[in-house]
Amino acid sequence: MNDNSALYAFNKYGDTVLRMAFAIIGSYHEAEDITQEVFLTLHAKPQDFENEEHMKAWLLRSAINRCKNYKKSSRITKNSPLDETLENTLSCEFTERDNEIREKIEKLPEKYATVIFLYYFEEYSIKEIANILSKNENTVSSLLQRGRKKLKTELEKEGYIYET
């Protein structure tokens, strides 16, 4: 990769990585930090990617791993948003309806939230998600099915009509 590859990756996939981190973490500011770390790592340690999809998968996997590390850190328990209302208005280019659903997805266990985000918001197939997460396709399919069920239950509690 040349020196411009991190910049190219950022221009092409920066918003995708940011949305992914935001969907998992739920904090726009932390998602920005995680996104920055992912691209700084790519800049500092250039990777050889087979193609565009390989690059995108690597970036998303890096973001997922950083989100997991963030959630494990004591930083998350020590910090709380200064203004929760402001935090919720930052939608990271989600529509209002997407933002409401994203908030419900965010409350799901991470394993479900990640799979749902990749499937519905990034439009990856189950096979592609399995490759990104290094999981079996059947496992991803089960996580997606269980996540949908949990999401449906949460949406119904809020009065949403869910048609199957």
Q: Is 157 exposed, middle or buried (0-12, 13-18, 19+ CB in 10 A)?
A: exposed
Instruction: Take residue 118 and report the two structure tokens written for it.
Output: 């990749």
Instruction: Take residue 149 and report the two structure tokens written for it.
Output: 């069920």
Give the domain-ending residue among 34, 59, 87.
87
Same domain assignment for residues 49 and 109:
no
Give the pLDDT confidence of 119-154 residue by residue, as tens digits. 888 888 899 898 888 889 999 999 999 998 988 888
Same domain assignment for residues 160 and 83:
no
- Model pTM score: 0.62
Q: What is the pLDDT of residue 146?
A: 93
Give the pLDDT confidence of 90-101 residue by residue, as tens digits. 444 555 556 677
Range of the domain at 62: 1-87
CA 23 to chain centre: 5
Q: What is the pLDDT of residue 95?
A: 55
Residues of the chain below pLDDT 70: 1-4, 74-99, 160-164
Q: Read off φ and ψ for residue 141, nearest 5 degrees.
A: -60, -40
Q: What is the pLDDT of residue 136?
A: 92
Q: What is the CATH number of the domain that holds 103?
A: 1.10.10.10
Q: Residue 74: CB partners within 8 Å, gap ≥ 6?
A: none
Are 134 and 62 within 8 A, CB to CB? no
Give the relative orientation of helices 5-25 and 28-44 as an angle to the nearest 10 degrees: 150
Same domain assignment for residues 75 and 14:
yes
Q: What is the pLDDT of residue 113?
A: 86
Q: What is the pLDDT of residue 33?
A: 93
Are 151 and 105 within 8 A, CB to CB? yes
